Amino acid sequence: MGNILKFSDRATERVRFEALLRPHMARLFKLACRFTGNVPDAEDLVQDLLIKLYPRCVELEKLEQPAPWLARVMYRMWVDQRRRYHRSPVIFAEDLVQFAQADAAVNHVGAVSADCPAQRYEREYSRRRLQQALYDLSDDHRTVVLMHDVEGYSLNEIGDILDCAVGTVKSRLHRARACLRQCLDDGTF
Amino acid sequence: MNCDATIRDLDEFLDGTLHRESSASIQLHANSCMACRGLLERGRALRDALRDLPVPAVDPGFMERAFTQARQRHQQKRTLARRWTYGAGGALAAGLALFVATTIMFPGPADNSRDLSVITVALADRADVRVVVHSTADLQDATFTVSLPDNLELKGFPGARVIRWDGRLNKGKNLLVLPVIAHGPVAGELTTLVEHEHRSKAFRMNVTTDGYIKSISTERIKVMM
């Protein structure tokens, strides 16, 4: 026989990879959206994550809790991208309007609400200010707020994902919230 | 409890992680302190607003595209690594061989339904279905798709009716071993589809759950139990 086709190896490479990753994709995508602030960059980040992980299927299978590990890998990739971005002398115009997609979603939500126009406008205005205040935070502070207050990760999970002490996470969260409150402290919140 | 302590413990109070007695003290203080009551209300409003921040829905087609792209990129890297090993001359020869092999290997229609083999498996026992694929040249990046009838399971893939993976075919005979288990009465087709670029060849066989192998058919395909 010229060649024994390695069914188990070949089959598992694709099928097992997808079986491992699919249950986590929705949450990873949401997290990517929170990190990047827009859909195209979030899709790129998730795509890069899959490309990076595809050859590491065996390593993935050995993980007892893949969810925080996946989030950690994606977070590091995002941090690397941000570093490269900050080193770059070029800033693209579309990067100046981050959260535009989220704003569009807000508009859509507002459009189907039964509230009166004044209430819709007020809520939308508040959300836009909150998104802008989030965007004005440092990356570290914004990340912990988005992961904890928006996405609901626990402090321990965040410490694990960001590879830092829980005390550090608490401290960043405290400062970030204080900054947000200060930015928004006109009675709106 | 005073205003300083309220400000200090505000986050833990709102997160619900503060000790019960301390939480009660803060609430008691806030009831009588307008400034701290306002602080708590704004804190709650901020927390609620953050929780309600919308996130765009994922494009339904994105996940499929992303998985496909990841697989293709991995294959390209693997192929490049092999070609780098073999050298530029080898790469050119391999590319030529691929084209020739494709045209020679897939001369017939994609779905060959004549002379179906009939194989029989015992209930709850593992059986190895062996498919011999003849290839006239090396083929990189062929795609294999196995489709199973009801109640027949490919070992290691419980519940999966279709299993798809990528592999390569060497020149000559290639043996594909499919370990299957029947979990109930089986009466249907087991299909192995081999695809390369835009061409394909389907190997089909009927599977039942009693008796023995009834026939082995075609000069290109051999099915053994």
- B21-59 pLDDT per residue, tens: 888 888 888 888 888 888 888 888 888 888 888 888 888
Q: What is the pLDDT of residue A6?
A: 54
Contact B167 A109 (CB under 8 A): no
**Is the CB of residue B174 less than 8 Å from the CB of residue B222?**
no
Q: In Å, how far from its chain's centre is CA B113?
A: 28
Contact B171 A2 (CB under 8 A): yes
Contact A149 B51 (CB under 8 A): yes
**Is the CB of residue B121 less than 8 Å from the CB of residue B211?**
no
- Domain extents for chain B? 3-51, 56-225
Between CA A23 and CA A29 the distance in angstroms is: 11
Question: Does B34 lie at the interface with A, CB-CB under 8 angstroms?
Answer: no
Q: Tens of pLDDT along A74-123? A: 999 998 888 776 665 444 444 444 444 444 444 444 444 456 777 777 77
Q: What is the pLDDT of residue A115?
A: 61
Between CA A76 and CA A78 the distance in angstroms is: 5
DSSP string, A15-78: HHHHHHHHHHHHHHHHHHHHHHSSHHHHHHHHHHHHHHHGGGHHHHHT-S-HHHHHHHHHHHHH
**Is the CB of residue B110 less than 8 Å from the CB of residue B202?**
yes
Q: What is the pLDDT of residue B1?
A: 67
* 10-residue stretch averages of pLDDT, chain B, 225 residues long: 83 85 87 88 87 83 89 74 41 30 37 59 79 77 86 83 82 79 86 81 80 36 32
CATH classification for the domain delimited by A8-97, as one of 1.10.10, 1.10.1740, 1.20.1270, 1.25.40: 1.10.1740
Contact B66 A50 (CB under 8 A): yes
Q: The tokens of A9 are what?
A: 């190896």
Contact A105 B176 (CB under 8 A): no
* Nearest-Cα residue of chain B relative to residue A42: B58
Per DSSP, A149 falls in state I
Query: In B, which residues are within 8 Å of A34 by CB distance?
Result: 55
Question: Does B88 lie at the interface with A, CB-CB under 8 angstroms?
Answer: no
- Domain extents for chain A? 8-97
Considering CB atoms only, which of B50, B56, B160 is closest to A39?
B56
Question: In sequence order, which residues have a C-beta less than 8 Å from that of residue B22 and are 6 or more positions away?
Answer: B1, B9, B13
Total beta-carbon pairs less than 8 A apart between chain A and chain B? 142
Q: What is the pLDDT of residue A90?
A: 45
Q: What is the pLDDT of residue A74?
A: 94
- From edge to edge, which strands make up the β-sheet containing B117-120? B117-120, B199-208, B187-196, B139-147, B162-169
Beta strands per DSSP E along chain B: 117-120, 126-135, 139-147, 152-154, 162-169, 172-182, 187-196, 199-208, 221-224
Q: What is the pLDDT of residue A176?
A: 92
Which among A1, A5, A18, A134 is the top mutation candidate for probing chain B, defined by the most B β-carbons within 10 Å of its own β-carbon? A5
Contact B163 A3 (CB under 8 A): no
Pairing of strands B172-182, B199-208: unpaired
pLDDT tens, position by position, for chain A (189 residues)? 455 555 555 556 778 888 889 999 999 999 999 888 888 889 999 999 999 998 888 888 888 888 889 999 999 999 888 877 666 544 444 444 444 444 444 444 444 445 677 777 777 777 788 888 888 888 899 999 999 998 888 899 999 889 899 999 999 999 999 888 887 775 554
Q: What is the pTM of this model?
A: 0.56
* Nearest-Cα residue of chain B relative to residue A150: B51
Q: How large is the ipTM?
A: 0.73
Q: The tokens of A172 are what?
A: 């960043």
Between CA B193 and CA B181 the distance in angstroms is: 20
- Tell me the residues of chain B between 179 and 208 that have a Cβ less than 8 Å away from chain A: 179
Beta strands per DSSP E along B46-161: 117-120, 126-135, 139-147, 152-154
Pairing of strands B139-147, B126-135: unpaired
**Is the CB of residue B127 less than 8 Å from the CB of residue B225?**
yes
CA dihedral B107, B113, B119, B121 (to 10 degrees): 110
B56-225: in CATH 2.60.40.10: yes
